[in-house]
């Protein structure tokens, strides 16, 4: 996280929209001066060639204007692969193969190996030969999904441009990572992808790069991914999407599932990039952190305060405060001596709680620092463009080197450092931050200065900083704007993307720095954090073989979700950031990072009681739920205010009660690919009321959340989808489709259960282990026809490999509840309670024995209990 001083926060705020509502027009508005339609374009050179997997088209340049922002490449190849029935791959690349491709490896994206074309695809590929253009259509309704007809195709060494037509007011979702409304619009109309350490500005580039989207037209959905790691601008203008990319190739994947639902698009997308990690059960509990805990005694005091205030706490975290002079893999001997840190970890473990700390990629270059010496000896750090000198930037510990995640020795290096460190205190998980990578200077400002302690630039007088920055820039330019053997201008590419930091090398590794194989950072910048996630996940598995990995990353790319979760970075303690956190989490769900959340109550700036109460209520339901704020801000642990404590207890009681349902949703994210949180439009794509809805959302398909995100509001005018929806707290039904004002006092967050759902539940306790030790319950919410269904996934809750699992399907119809499926896991806890909403009963029969039914005075549900039903075999329960 960008842990800057209050002076820098003020500077950053001057560039950040801080009004109460999301800006309709923000820094994302850029005049799109697309290249002229007189661009030369290309034509098919000869005949199309059929291949085992599809089609090959050789292209040559037409006569006309060229060299707009680089050197035009005259010979291209178009390879079309009908990979699966719902996935089409279209790659437009230079025939010579000199343009950089996203690596076909876990450090990029492992490509599927297609042996033959799909026999019955849901799509068709069409092309024209002169000039070359192409369309992708859906076979079921002949809808044109992607169409470059009449639009320029520009393919240069440092500039690619391609445009597709879309409806004038297209419903587009994706193109992340962006702080803004969930549905993209024609006002904030440019998405820039260039990983950047910045405190969540609206409609500007930040930590992650996801050049993918889902579009919904008339209730049907399709999707697209441009697999390219270079910097780019994506314009969503009226009637078109235009890609402008500063390198690589045009490597498109199209997702055309049948049925054409948005969730099916997400499933198809994650079939390609990888499914989200399966978290251990404990990871779904409540997490607490802040930057600015002064010593280990203060951290221990927070743990005890949670206990004293009867608020669940699963995992305690420490930011860089624990480090010795902010160096990775060290402990401050005065404030965080390792003996006391280990004592706290042991205490937490004795209570079935956990401990997580941060590790940054930047390694201090101090010559007495052993992690640097070991890395230097293994030659694993990024180099300057002379191929031999280490890049030395500046981060928290001073001058730093940056691991090259593509170096063949780096896994060995990182395994040792991570494993040794985690073993030293029996650590439970790792949080990798600053991995865009972030650097506080421009270029290699630490060359020859390893053992000095530089000032942070934001603490310098303005005039001194201007002079220092000029020196950095001069030093960087003196090394040249490219690399030997590469004619590209890597420092100042001719096309200037809308990078919020300006210079592409500003506050990050210079684009001329080199990775293993002499690959410029220019080509892999957006992959750096993604690659670190893979290497770090491997390292943690070495530390605890067979155990699911807890890993949280800031920077991401398509496929990161299979190695790590993500938090949405350095937000602000403001109402507009509370609101936009919902869109941010929904965006990550769509991109295959189900284990995601935002800093609850805000990271930058001081929160207040009302804001924190509302945020705690919402954040308690984030897929990844953590309160976290910055140094110099007021303390915001939920027990600091009675109202916030109560809002937290109530919301976490709902979360922990739903833990079996939530865990089952994560298993679906890990196998099917669908999100844990879901936009209403993804579940109800034909209901236009939800096209721009990004306040209300669903947990899975069965729990509707209607949070308060407006200051001083005590109610929400909530939209309800079709069907009956039961209030989680009092069981009162709402029949949709309709809209209704729901009262929501300060400590209350409205929740409704979909009629037709069966939710597996537990009795909420103070930890996940204690919660899971309680008997199972079922909440049966009947639809208007008296039916309901649900699912429960059971495994051991922590192992990567699961030889025996249970996958139970529940169905309720005509007064009978039945359970079927796979019952391979030996589950010791029993089903001891069933509550039914939507009908009245007097008794139930279980295994031939009758039990009475009572009406719950609070929820109105008809409740049967007293039995102990074994969840290791099929069963049925009859209601009378």
Q: Which residues are catalytic?
A: 433, 436, 570
Burial of 175 (0-12, 13-18, 19+ CB in 10 A): buried
Cα(324)–Cα(301) distance, rounded to whole angstroms?
A: 21
Give the span between the Cα atoms of 150 and 134, in whole angstroms.
10
Inter-CA distances, 103 with 294, 298, 304, 529, 801, Å: 43, 45, 47, 14, 27
CA distance 42 to 60: 5
Run of H or E including 215: strand 210-217
Taking the C-alpha atoms of residue 387 and residue 381, their distance in angstroms, rounded to an integer, is 11
Is 647 buried (19+), middle (13-18) or exposed (0-12) by CB count in 10 A? buried
The phi and psi torsions of 560 (rounded to 5 degrees) equal: -60, -30
d(CA 316, CA 344): 10
Phi/psi of residue 262, each to 5°? -60, -40
| Count of CB atoms situated within 10 Å of the CB of 843 | 12
- φ and ψ at residue 49, rounded to 5 degrees: -115, 125
| 605: nearest Cα among 77, 180, 12, 163 | 12
Residue 321 and residue 361: Cα distance in Å, rounded? 16
Q: Encode 552-565: b = buried (16+ Cβ within 10 Å), e = exposed.
A: bbbbbbbbbbbbbb
Residue 100 carries which DSSP code? P
Question: Which DSSP symbol is given to 841?
Answer: -
What's phi and psi for 54, nearest 5 deg? 165, -105
In angstroms, the first-to-last Cα distance of the chain is 58
Q: How far apart are CA 625 and CA 580, in angstroms?
A: 16
Q: How many residues does the chain have?
A: 880
E strand map for 710-861:
715-727, 733-743, 751-754, 757-761, 776-781, 788-794, 806-813, 816-823, 831-837, 843-846, 849-855
Task: Write out the two tokens for 434.
Answer: 């600053």
- How do 831-837 and 843-846 pair as beta strands? unpaired
Rounded Cα distance between 110 and 113, Å, is 9
If DSSP codes are grouped into helix, strand and coil, which group holds residue 192?
strand
As given in the structure block, the two tokens for residue 426 are 């029996």
CB 381 within 8 A of CB 354: no
> Distance between CA atoms of 384 and 479, rounded to whole angstroms?
8
């Amino acid at each position: 996280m960008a842990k800057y001083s209050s002076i820098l926060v003020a500077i950053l705020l001057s560039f950040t929209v801080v009004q109460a509502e999301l800006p309709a027009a923000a820094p994302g508005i850029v005049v799109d001066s697309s290249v002229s339609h007189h661009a030369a374009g290309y034509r098919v050179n000869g005949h199309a060639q059929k291949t085992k997997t599809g089609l090959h088209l050789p292209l040559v340049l037409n006569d006309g204007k060229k060299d707009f922002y680089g050197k035009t490449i005259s010979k291209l190849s178009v390879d079309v692969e009908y990979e699966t029935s719902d996935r089409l791959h279209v790659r437009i690349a230079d025939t010579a193969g000199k343009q950089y491709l996203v690596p076909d490896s876990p450090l990029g994206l492992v490509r599927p190996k297609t042996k033959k074309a799909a026999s019955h695809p849901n799509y068709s590929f069409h092309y024209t030969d002169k000039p070359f253009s192409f369309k992708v259509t859906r076979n079921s309704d002949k809808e044109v999904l992607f169409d470059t007809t009449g639009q320029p195709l520009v393919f240069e060494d440092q500039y690619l441009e391609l445009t597709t037509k879309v409806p004038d007011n297209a419903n587009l979702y994706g193109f992340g990572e962006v702080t803004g409304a969930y549905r993209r619009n024609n006002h904030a109309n440019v998405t820039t992808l260039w990983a950047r350490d910045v405190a969540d500005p609206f409609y500007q580039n930040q930590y992650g790069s996801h050049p993918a989207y889902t579009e919904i037209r008339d209730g049907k959905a399709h999707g697209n991914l441009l697999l390219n790691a270079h910097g780019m601008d994506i314009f969503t203008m009226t009637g078109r999407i235009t890609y402008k990319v500063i390198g690589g190739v045009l490597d498109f994947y199209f997702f055309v599932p049948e049925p054409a639902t948005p969730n099916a698009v997400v499933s198809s997308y994650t079939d390609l990039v990888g499914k989200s990690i399966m978290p251990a059960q404990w990871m779904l509990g409540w997490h607490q952190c802040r930057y600015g805990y002064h010593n280990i005694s203060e951290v221990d005091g927070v743990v005890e305060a949670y206990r004293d205030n009867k608020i669940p706490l699963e995992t305690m975290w420490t930011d860089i405060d624990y480090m010795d002079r902010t160096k990775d893999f060290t402990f401050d001997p005065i404030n965080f001596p390792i003996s006391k840190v280990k004592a706290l970890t042991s205490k937490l473990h004795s209570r079935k709680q956990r401990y997580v700390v941060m590790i940054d990629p930047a390694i201090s270059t101090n010559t007495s620092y052993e992690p640097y010496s070991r890395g230097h000896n293994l030659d694993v750090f990024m180099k300057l463009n002379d191929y031999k000198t280490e890049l030395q930037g500046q981060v928290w510990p001073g001058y730093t080197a940056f691991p090259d995640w593509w170096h063949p020795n780096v896994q060995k290096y990182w395994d040792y450092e991570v494993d040794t460190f985690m073993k030293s205190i029996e650590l439970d998980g790792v949080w990798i931050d600053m991995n865009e990578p972030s650097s506080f200077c421009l270029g290699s400002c630490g060359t020859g200065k390893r053992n000095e302690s530089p000032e942070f630039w934001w603490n310098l007088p303005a005039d001194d900083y201007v002079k220092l920055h000029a020196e950095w820039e001069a030093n960087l330019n003196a090394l040249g704007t490219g690399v030997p053997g590469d004619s590209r201008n890597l420092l100042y590419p001719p096309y200037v993307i809308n990078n919020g930091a300006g210079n592409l090398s500003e506050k990050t590794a210079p684009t001329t720095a080199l990775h293993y194989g002499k690959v410029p950072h220019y080509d892999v910048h957006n992959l750096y954090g993604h690659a670190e996630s893979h290497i770090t996940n491997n390292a943690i598995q070495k530390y605890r073989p067979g155990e699911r990995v807890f890993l949280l990353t800031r920077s991401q790319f398509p496929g990161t979700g299979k190695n790590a979760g993500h938090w949405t970075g350095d937000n602000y303690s403001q109402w507009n950031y509370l609101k936009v956190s919902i869109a941010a989490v929904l965006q990550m769900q769509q991109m295959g990072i189900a284990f995601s959340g935002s800093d609850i109550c805000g990271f930058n700036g001081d929160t207040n009681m009302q804001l924190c109460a509302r945020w705690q209520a919402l954040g308690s339901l984030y897929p990844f739920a953590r309160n976290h704020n910055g140094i110099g801000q007021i303390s915001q642990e939920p027990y600091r205010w009675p109202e916030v404590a109560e809002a937290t207890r109530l919301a976490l009681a709902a979360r922990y009660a739903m833990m079996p349902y939530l865990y089952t949703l994560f298993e679906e994210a890990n196998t099917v690919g669908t999100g844990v949180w879901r936009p209403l439009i993804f579940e109800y794509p034909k209901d236009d009321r939800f096209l721009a809805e990004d306040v209300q959302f669903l947990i899975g398909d069965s729990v509707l959340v209607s949070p308060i995100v407006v200051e001083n509001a005590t109610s929400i005018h909530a939209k309800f989808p079709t069907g009956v929806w039961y209030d989680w707290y009092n069981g009162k039904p709402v029949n949709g489709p309709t809209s209704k004002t729901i009262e929501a006092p300060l400590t209350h967050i409205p929740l409704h259960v979909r009629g037709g759902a069966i939710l597996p539940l537990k009795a909420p306790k103070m930890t996940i282990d204690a919660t899971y030790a309680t008997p199972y319950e079922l909440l049966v919410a009947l639809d208007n026809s008296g039916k309901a269904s649900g699912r429960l996934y059971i495994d051991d809750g922590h192992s990567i490999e699961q030889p025996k699992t249970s996958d139970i399907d529940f169905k309720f119809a005509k007064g009978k509840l039945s359970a079927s499926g796979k019952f391979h896991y030996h589950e010791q806890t029993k089903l001891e309670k069933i509550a039914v909403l939507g009908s009245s009963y007097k008794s139930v029969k279980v295994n031939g024995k009758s039990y009475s039914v009572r009406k719950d005075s609070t929820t109105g549900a008809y409740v049967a209990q007293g039995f102990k039903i074994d969840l290791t075999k099929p069963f049925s329960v009859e209601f009378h």
